[in-house]
Structure 1
C-alpha cells in the first residue's frame, strides 16, 4: 500500500476520473446530490488529514462506494 504524501501522475489521473464519474453519475441521476457531495467531501477530508491511502482508495473505487446502498 502506498503511503507517500505526494500524489503521483497515476493518482492524478485516477482523481480526474473519479471527479468525472461523480459529476456524470449525478447528472444522469445515478446518485443524489447529497451522495455526490458526501463522496467529494470524504476525499477532501482524507487529503486534508494526510490520509493519502484513503484518498487513493476513493480515486480508484469511489464510484463503486457511491453506488452502494448506505
Structure 2
C-alpha cells in the first residue's frame, strides 16, 4: 500500500488527473471536486469523492472521512 501523500506526489509528477470512480468528477484539491470535460490523451487515476463515498458506503464513510 502506498501512503496517500506519496500517491498524490507521484500523480503530480506524472501529470495524472484524479477522477471519482463513480461520478467521474475531477479532484481539484483534497476537498474540492468539480465536473470535468474529458481531454484526449490525458492520464487518469481514480479515487472517490466525498459525496459518492457517503452515498455508496454510508456505514464506512464516517470512519474514512468525517463530514465537514
Same fold (TM over 0.5): no
Structure with bigger helix share is 1
RCO higher in 1 or 2 (8 Å CA, sep ≥ 6)? 1
User: What TM-score does the superposition give when structure 2 sets the normalisation length?
Assistant: 0.29
User: What TM-score does the superposition give when structure 1 sets the normalisation length?
Assistant: 0.29
- Structure of greater Rg: 2
